Amino acid sequence: MKKANYMIFLICSIFLICSLTSCKAKQEDVSSVNTMSEQEESEPGNSVSEQTKGDMTSFSASTLSGGTFTQEDLADYDMTVINIWATTCGYCIEEMEGLEKLYEQLPENVNFISICADATYNMELAEEILKKKGATFETLIGNSSLDNAILQYITGTPTTVFTDSEGNLVGSPIIGAPCIEDMDRAASIYLKEVENHLKELDQ
C-alpha cells in the first residue's frame, strides 16, 4: 500500500514539474515572437528578418471568394502587402484584426492580400476564421503555383512580404506577429514598414 502511494506521489510530482516547465517555455516563446521593445516600435526595420527568396512575378491562385488572382492583379498597385498564414497557427489568427485595421488604413496605391497556406485542406475553417475576425481583404488558397513562387521559401507563419507592381519582393519580410496584445499598435507597426518600402520604391 505504501509503495502504491509513493508511486502515485512520484507520478504527480513529475507531472507538476513538466507542466510548470511547459508553461514557462510557452511564455518565453510568446514574448520573443510577438512583442517588441519601444525602440523596435519606433524603428520598424528592427522587426524584419533576412531577405526571403522567391518572388510573385508569375503565379495563379484561386481565392476564397471564388475568383482568380495572378501577378497581373499586383500591377494595379505600386505595392502589395502579402500576409502568409495557416489555420493551425494561433498567432496568425490572433493578429487578423490588426491586419484588417492595416488594410483599412493603407493608401490607395497599396493593396493587402493574404495567402492561407493550408486552405486547400481547411477551406471552411479558413473562411470561418476570416469571418469571425472581420477580415475583408482577399485571401488566396495555397497551391503548387504559390509554392513555387514564395511558399517554399517561408520558414514559419505568420510571414508578411512586400512586392512591387511586378511582383518583385521589396525590402525584408516580417516573420512572426509583431504585437497581438494591441491591434492598433500592430497595424501601426506594419504601416511604418509600408511607408519605408514605398520610399525605397521612389528612390
DSSP letter string, 94-160: HTHHHHHHHHHHS-TTEEEEEEETTTTT-HHHHHHHHHHTT--SEEEEP-HHHHHHTGGG--SSSEE
- Model pLDDT, residue 44: 38
Over residues 86-138, the pLDDT tens digits come to 999 999 999 999 999 999 999 999 999 999 999 999 999 999 999 999 999 99
Nearest to 119 by CA among 79, 158, 86: 86
SS3 state of residue 32:
helix
- Model pLDDT, residue 202: 87
- Model pLDDT, residue 65: 97
- Model pLDDT, residue 6: 46
- Model pLDDT, residue 36: 33
Nearest to 139 by CA among 115, 175, 117: 115
Asked if 109 contacts 79 with a C-beta cutoff of 8 angstroms, the reply is: yes
SS3 state of residue 164:
strand
Per-residue pLDDT of the chain (203 residues; tens, 9 = 90+): 444 444 444 444 443 333 333 333 332 332 223 323 333 333 333 344 455 689 999 999 999 999 999 999 999 999 999 999 999 999 999 999 999 999 999 999 999 999 999 999 999 999 999 999 999 999 999 999 999 999 999 999 999 999 999 999 999 999 999 998 999 999 999 999 999 999 999 87
Taken in order 191, 103, 112, 92, the sign of the CA dihedral is positive
- Model pLDDT, residue 51: 58
SS3 state of residue 162:
strand
Other beta carbons within 10 angstroms of residue 17's beta carbon come to 10
pTM above threshold 0.85: no
